[in-house]
Amino acid sequence: MDFQSTQFLKGGHPLAQHIIELFDVCKDFSGTQVLKNINLYVRKNEFITLLGPSGCGKTTTLRLIAGFEQPTRGQIYFYDQCINRVPPYQRRLNTVFQRYALFPHLTVADNIAFGLKIRKVPAEEMKTRIAHVLKLVGLSGYEKRWPDSLSGGQQQRVAIARALVNQPEVLLLDEPLGALDLKMRQGMQIELKNMQRQLGITFIYVTHDQEEALTMSDTVVVMKDGRIQQIGTPEDIYNEPKNAFVADFIGESNIIDGLMKKDFLVEFAGREFVCVDAGFGFDIPVDVVVRPEDIKVVAPEEGMLKGIVTSLVFLGVHYEMQVEATGFNWRLHSTQMYPVGSEIGMNILPDDIHIMEKSAPQIGEEES
């Protein structure tokens, strides 16, 4: 599949320069292949997110870019220079670590000054730059504090400040919000996004949280088992998932076996539906993906499908229901409450039916 061209067509700034590019990068750890032919480019000033379940290779990809690991095969380019052999301390990028990795023997100000001191930045400039980044992360006045006297969120801000003060061209973030509670995480998501826009720095962000990926990114790279599954804007990834894995990973989905009868007509759940997809051929088995929020609940006699409500959970904004219909357990969202056991009708519009090629059985790969 040609990910590069899709990214080029659908990404935000197609003419922006590629700041980092990975060509056919593979990485083995003691015989196990954790990255398989990764091809990826990162445009200048974009917010790109590597998204996937744990063990999918997203952190390894980030560590390769940072220079903590060397690729087994393939090349990594920074602008037009191959940086495979360049040690981390000579790369013009900085990392925000998952567990912050603040130096416990240094104060907040000294932690932030670490990179500047090594670059021999004059004391006066150092002071103003430290004050500036501390203000940026909302920790002015914390200069003299010790890292272990700060909360997780504050430590995270110091870690971000420590990276940003060096004015890197690329900032790598390895699940930086993973250790924070939900409320703080949401606040930091917005702040990080604003910072990235303000500073005009390229962010490469690693997360397993699909919501985080969708809200913050310009481009999302979905990974699984060391392979890239799909690259695209958050809208693309959500609305046009390339395969059942992406559809399932990015939000909940009903994934059901179907048969593509011909262009714009698909058969599943015992009847034919009009859809918007074409080009599969005739009578081809496919995966049909329908988002829970795209199923409209109607009166039983008006529905395309009829089913019985088997479970009901109140989630605040809406109810989540499981509906048994034609031997399949449909998951759907509704603002209306239908008690368990009641019969309802379900309508699915052509636009909301996503047809995917059956994922080919993957040989010789263990599921992680």
Does position 29 interact with another protein (CB under 8 A)? The reply is no
Interface with another protein (CB under 8 A), residue from 8, 23, 77, 97: 97
Tell me if 206 sits within 8 A of 173, measured CB to CB.
Answer: yes
> Which one-letter DSSP state was computed for residue 320?
E
What's the rounded Cα separation, in Å, for the pair 248 and 99?
29
Rounded to whole angstroms, the Cα distance separating 2 from 4 reads 5
In whole angstroms, the minimum distance from the beta carbon of 175 to another protein comes to 13
In order of 132, 189, 240, 263, 269, the CA distances from 352 in angstroms are: 48, 29, 10, 16, 15
Is the separation of the CB atoms in 252 and 331 below 8 Å? yes
Map tokens 């744990």 to a residue. Answer: 54
Joined tokens for residue 247: 């559809």
Least Å distance, CB 32 to another protein, is 18
CB of 145 to another protein, least distance (A): 16
Which one, 165 or 213, has the nearer CB to another protein? 165
Query: Out of 68, 79, 264, 282, which residue is the one contacting another protein (CB under 8 A)?
Result: 68
Q: Which residue, 62 or 332, has its beta carbon nearer to another protein?
A: 62
Q: CA–CA separation, 155 vs 148, rounded Å?
A: 8
Report, in Å, the least distance between residue 196 CB and another protein: 19
- Please choose, out of 26-34, 97-105, 190-198, 263-271, the segment that lies near another protein by the rule CB under 8 A: 97-105
Residues 267, 269: Cα–Cα separation, whole Å: 7
Size of the site for another protein (CB under 8 A): 23
Structure tokens at 240: 């046009």
**Selection from 78, 237, 353, 129 nearest residue 229 by Cα:** 237
Instruction: Candidates 158-166, 210-218, 276-284, 345-353: pick the segment binding another protein (CB under 8 A).
Output: 158-166
Least Å from the CB of residue 39 to another protein: 25
Q: How far is the CB of 288 from another protein (least distance, A)?
A: 44
Stretch that binds another protein, among 17-25, 98-106, 135-143, 187-195 (CB under 8 A): 98-106
Task: Report the alpha-carbon distance of residue 345 to residue 265 in Å, rounded.
Answer: 21
Is residue 146 involved in binding another protein (CB under 8 A)?
no
Site for another protein (CB under 8 A): which residue of 8, 114, 328, 338?
Answer: 114
**In this structure, are strands 170-174 and 202-207 parallel, antiparallel, or unpaired?**
parallel
Which range of residues in 25-33, 65-73, 185-193, 234-242 is near another protein by CB under 8 A? 65-73
Binding site for another protein (CB under 8 A): 66-68, 87-90, 94-95, 97, 99, 101-105, 114-115, 118-119, 162-163, 166
